[in-house]
Amino acid sequence: MPTLYYEVVDVFAATPFVGNPLAVVLDADDLPPDALQALAREFNLSETAFPMQPAGTGADYRLRIFTPTAELPFAGHPSVGTAWVLARLGRVRWPGAVTQSCGAGVLTLTVAPGDGTVPGRPGSVELTGGVPSAGRPLEATPLLAAVGLSAPDLAGPPPRVCGTGLDFGYLSVRPDAVVRAKPDLPRLRELASLGVAGGLSVSAWDGTTAHTRVFAGAVGVPEDPATGSSALGYGAWLAASGLVPGDGESRYVVRQGAELSRPSVLAGAVVTRAGVAVQCRVAGDVVPVATGEIVRPG
């Protein structure tokens, strides 16, 4: 039977079997959306990525991203992982900048040279998100209820919806509350009415590092071990909350996935002007874990 080549990589991880696993399926340009969705269900990872010809956008490639239940316009760990796979396979030139077309527009990723220990293996990948956005403060009650928390668990600035191509709700809580959070899937789905399209980020901020969990039940991912798009939007939330200087570049770290036994490290940066985020970036390592062939859906 005709098959498609795929690779599985762990993203935002320096060693295998941690971070966020991603399936990258090649040469599926001619498949309709229902076939791509069937492949994503088969892998049953938080996302499966399908790099395709750019179709006149001027980008190096077009990327379609599917969770087990829905297509996303943009996501961070599929973008980072796919750029790494295409670089390793020689399908894009590296080191340096490559461009990806997706539902959030044409985005730039920078592939670093490897450390030389494995010939032909790229280094870390940095993704520049789309135009940052930050909404007004939100009432915390429905967000807290969606993850089994209550008002005494709140800490820090009020929640907001922020994003750089995919919007998330950002809820700042006490460190112990991050660990105790439990997703209530029906209530998480109801947050879509507040503009929380990507999911709900629950975090504790210590001034340099965020201990974060991301719940995205509305798109079929109850909890994600590493969410690049959320880490990008976190920079916009930091700026809107006054937690970083109003002008210049600030760096931060997002640690995620420990509660799923898949610890992940996401290196973020936000550039602000007059207190407003104008650019957000996120970077991380990628490691290969599997290759193979999968039957093309009929």
Residues 171 and 274 in one domain: yes
279 and 290 together in one domain: no
* pLDDT reported for residue 245: 98
For position 197, what pLDDT does the model report?
Answer: 87
Looking at the structure, do residues 149 and 279 belong to the same domain, yes or no?
yes
Task: Mark whether 105 and 203 lie in a shared domain.
Answer: no
Q: Are residues 30 and 7 in the same domain?
A: yes
42 is an active site residue: no
Mean pLDDT for all residues in the chain: 96
Instruction: State the total domains in the chain.
Output: 2
Give CA–CA dist 94/130, Å, rounded.
22
> Environment class of residue 217 by beta-carbon count within 10 Å: exposed (0-12), middle (13-18) or buried (19+)?
buried
CA–CA distance, 22 with 19 (Å, rounded to integer): 10
Query: What pLDDT, on the 0 to 100 scale, is given for residue 268?
Result: 98
Question: Does 203 lie in the same domain as 191?
Answer: yes
End-to-end CA gap in the chain: 10
- pLDDT of the chain along its 298 residues, tens only? 899 999 999 999 999 999 999 999 999 999 999 999 999 999 999 999 999 999 888 999 999 999 999 999 999 999 999 999 999 999 999 999 999 999 999 999 999 999 999 999 999 999 999 999 999 999 999 999 999 999 999 999 999 999 999 999 999 999 999 999 999 999 999 998 999 989 999 999 999 999 999 999 777 789 999 999 999 999 999 999 999 999 999 999 999 999 999 999 999 999 999 999 999 999 999 999 999 999 999 8
Indicate if the alpha-carbon torsion angle 113, 115, 120, 126 is positive or negative: negative
CATH of the domain at 30: 3.10.310.10
User: Does residue 288 sit in the same domain as residue 178?
Assistant: no
Tell whether 138 and 268 lie within a shared domain.
Answer: yes
At 217 the pLDDT is 79
Are 150 and 102 found together in one domain?
no
Domain that holds residue 85: 3-128+284-295
Q: Are residues 32 and 42 in the same domain?
A: yes
pLDDT recorded at residue 220: 77
User: 108 and 179 share a domain?
Assistant: no
Spatial CA neighbour of 252 closest among 197, 204, 182: 204
pLDDT of residue 3: 98
| Choice among 47, 190, 259, 293 that is catalytic | 47
Co-location of 278 and 288 in the same domain: no
